[in-house]
Structure 1
Amino acid sequence: MRELIRKIMRDKQEYKEQMARAEALPEDYRFVFQKIHGYMWSFAGGDGSDMLTTQQELIELFESSAADGKHVLDVTGEDVVGFCDGLLRDTKKWTDPARNKLNLDLINKFGRGNDAQ
């Protein structure tokens, strides 16, 4: 139990540090980050630690792109939702169990080596 409390405290501190870095981004990057942040956290699954990693990667990308003088939409593209979905591809989401169950049900019904019709 003590280790769980420590992990929660570390994650909370990491989140605060990330948000401080996001606040330091140029205005256009900060605006897009806030929009993406709201979108991506609506899908957070498990304890959210995977989302912290994804958020860290996004902040690093935005920091380096801003330093290179790139426009934020040159980084995300105009399909920002598509950008987000790509960013979240390998991140645990609350929708994962339903998605996995659907795939498993269909594989069990129609998969190779299964003669059930």
Structure 2
Amino acid sequence: MSIRDIIEGKKQWRAHMARVDALPPDYQIVYKEIQRYFFKVGPVDLADGNLLGGLVDFFEEGAASGRLVLELIGEDVAAFCDDLIKDSPTYADVYQASTKKKTRTTGK
């Protein structure tokens, strides 16, 4: 990864967060909780930017239509998050697969 890639990535992240900051306060709070949850759980494809970017798109549409954020996602934010990433491997899944593979090869 070159310096140029790092700088471009930072610019994209700042633009993304500017979109989040433009959302109504309740949307911002829920977005940041979802973001924190994803950073803990670690879906592997989080780095490609589609998941969080798509979430901001979804929230922008909901806010524009005048809906409350919990009307969009439901009362259980964690269940909403889990449903979003149910088909995505997490870093925990990758780690488990690697330890199972290591156990099979070493026999322990």
Q: TM-score range by the shorter chain?
A: 0.7 to 0.9
Contact 2:42 2:90 in 1 (8 A): yes
**Contact 1:54–1:91 (CA<8 Å) still a contact in 2?**
no
* Structure 1 residue 46, shift from structure 2 partner: 5.4
**Count of matched residue pairs:** 103
Cα shift at 1:96? 2.3
Q: Which aligned runs of 4 or more in structure 1 are off by greater than 4 angstroms?
A: 45-48, 99-104
Aligned residue among 12, 16, 19 for 2:17? 19
Q: 1:42 aligns with which of 30, 40, 43?
A: 40
Secondary structure in structure 2 of the residue aligned to 1:42? helix
Gaps of 5+ in 2: 102-108
Matches within 5 A, 1:1-117: 1-2=1-2, 5-44=3-42, 48-50=46-48, 52-100=49-97
1:47-101 deviation per Cα after TM superposition (whole angstroms, max 9, x unaligned) = 8523x22100110000000000111101111111111112223445211214546
Identity value in percent: 36
Stretch of structure 1 that moved more, 72-81 or 91-100: 91-100
Gapped regions of structure 1 (runs ≥ 5): 105-117
**What is the aligned-residue RMSD (CA, Å)?**
2.8
